[in-house]
Structure 1
Amino acid sequence: MSSIPGTSSRPGKQGATLRYTAMRLGIFAGCFLAIWGLVYARVLPAGLGDSNLMWVLLLALVVSGPLSWVLLRKQRDAMSEQIVAKVDRAKERLSANQSQEDV
Structure 2
Amino acid sequence: MSAKSSAAIKYTAMRFAVFVGCLVVAGALVQFGVLPKGLGDSNAIWVVLIALVLSAPLSFVLLRKQRDAMSEQIVGKVDRAKARLDSHRTQED
Q: Tell me the C-alpha RMSD between the 2 structures.
A: 1.4
With the length of structure 2 as denominator, give the TM-score of the two structures: 0.92
User: 1:86, CA displacement in angstroms?
Assistant: 0.3
Q: Is it true that 1:28 corresponds to 2:16 in the alignment?
A: no
Q: SS where residue 40 of structure 2 aligns? A: coil
Q: 2:40 is matched with which residue? A: 49
Unaligned runs of 5+ in 2: none
Please identify, of 81-90 and 50-59, the stretch whose mean Cα deviation from structure 2 is larger: 50-59
Q: Name the amino acid aligned to 2:79.
A: D
How many residue pairs are counted as aligned between the two chains?
92
Q: Which has the higher contact order (CA 8 A, sep 6+)?
A: 2
Whole-angstrom distance in 1 between the partners of 2:4 and 2:84: 21
TM-score, normalization: structure 1?
0.83
Question: Percent identical across equivalent pairs?
Answer: 62
Q: 1:88: Cα distance to partner?
A: 0.4
The answer to whether 1:18 aligns with 2:9 is yes
What CA distance in whole angstroms lies between the structure 2 residues aligned with 1:28 and 1:42? 21
Q: Deviations over 1:14-56 (max 9, x none)?
A: 5211111110010000000111011111221101111111111
Task: Give ranges in structure 1 of 5+ residues lacking alignment.
Answer: 1-6
| Residue 75 of structure 2 is aligned to residue 89 of structure 1 | no
